[in-house]
Amino acid sequence: AQKITQTQPGMFVQEKEAVTLDCTYDTSDQSYGLFWYKQPSSGEMIFLIYQGSYDEQNATEGRYSLNFQKARKSANLVISASQLGDSAMYFCAMREDAGGTSYGKLTFGQGTILTVHP
């Protein structure tokens, strides 16, 4: 079974509108972390936001927020006020903390291509 599922291969949004990118995950660990990365056409991986499994509040970083629903095992990325520069591939990833130690191994979803229209 896939550990990280991103069901939206592509998403379109109008500039200045908000968009939600979906991510569901599967783990039996109690301690884990969830990450979102952005990959523009230039290819580099850019870290956006992190949510720990024990964090009680949803993570926010500027225009990015993470809608974390632990019981549903979902960690959706919300981008507010979309900009043309937000057009990119977005990856959700999970780190499972075996034995309470962060080994740093990430499992990635397949990604969602976001296109922002002017």
Quick note: the x/- pattern for other proteins over 87-116, rule CB under 8 A, is: ----x-x-x-----xxxxxxxxxxx-----
Q: Based on CB atoms, which residue is closest to other proteins, 14 or 102?
A: 102
Q: What is the rounded CA–CA span in Å between residue 86 and residue 58? A: 21
Residue pair 75/26 in contact (Cβ under 8 Å)? The answer is no
| Residue 16 within binding range of other proteins, rule CB under 8 A | no
Q: What is the rounded CA–CA span in Å between residue 67 and residue 88? A: 20
Interface positions, 31-60, toward other proteins (CB under 8 A): 33, 35, 37, 43-45, 47, 50, 52, 54
Residue pair 76/21 in contact (Cβ under 8 Å)? The answer is yes
Find the largest Cα–Cα distance for the chain. 47
Q: What is the nearest approach in angstroms of other proteins to the Cβ of residue 9?
A: 8
| Residue 30 within binding range of other proteins, rule CB under 8 A | no
Q: What is the rounded CA–CA span in Å between residue 101 and residue 98? A: 6
Residues within the interface to other proteins (CB under 8 A)? 4, 33, 35, 37, 43-45, 47, 50, 52, 54, 91, 93, 95, 101-111
